Every structure is written in structure tokens, then in C-alpha cells.
């Protein structure tokens, strides 16, 4: 995600959103990689489930911010006739 965030940062001056994206990346990576290592019997790992819930909630908030930023970029594009 790091390179995508770097690219996005070139088009957005929303430093709060960029910071949110950078902060959630390590937790997202941890949860994803730990989840891949689980066997069927370990799916009910309580600590992992809490981490997943945390990532989901934070991701929803970040996605809302991304959509607002996307709409701003669309409007700027329309105004500039591109």
C-alpha cells in the first residue's frame, strides 16, 4: 500500500487522510498475514478477531474520507475541463 499512498499523496493535499492511510497500513498487513497463516481450527482466534474488527472500523472511516476526496478531485477535473 505504501507506493499507492505515495502516488495518491501527489494528487491530494489532505494530510490527515494520508496520515490515516499510513497508520493503518502496518495493522492491515499484520492482520492479513496472520490471517493467512491460520488453520481452519484457529479461525476463532479472539485476539486476531479484535484486530480484524479494529481494522474494519478504521477502514470504514478512511474509506469515507477517500470518497470525499475522490469527489473533490472529480469536481476539480470538471472545472478544469479535463
Tens digits of residue pLDDT in 64-80:
999 999 999 899 888 88
- Domain boundaries, given as residue ranges, for the chain: 2-79
pLDDT at site 49: 76
Cα separation of 11 and 70, whole Å? 10
Q: What's residue 76's pLDDT?
A: 87
Q: At a CB cut-off of 8 Å and minimum separation 6, what does 5 contact?
A: 18, 21, 22, 25
CA-closest candidate to residue 47, choices 60, 55, 25, 20: 55
- pLDDT tens, residue by residue, 11-68: 888 999 999 999 999 888 877 777 666 665 566 667 777 877 888 888 899 999 999 9
Amino acid at each position: 500500500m505504501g507506493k499507492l499512498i505515495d502516488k495518491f499523496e501527489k494528487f491530494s493535499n489532505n494530510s490527515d487522510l494520508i496520515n490515516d492511510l499510513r497508520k493503518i497500513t502496518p495493522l492491515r498487513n499484520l492482520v492479513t498475514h496472520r490471517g493467512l497463516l491460520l488453520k481452519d481450527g484457529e479461525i476463532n482466534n479472539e485476539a486476531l478477531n479484535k484486530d480484524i474488527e479494529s481494522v474494519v472500523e478504521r477502514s470504514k472511516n478512511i474509506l469515507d474520507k477517500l470518497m470525499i476526496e475522490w469527489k473533490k478531485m472529480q469536481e476539480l477535473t470538471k472545472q478544469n475541463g479535463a
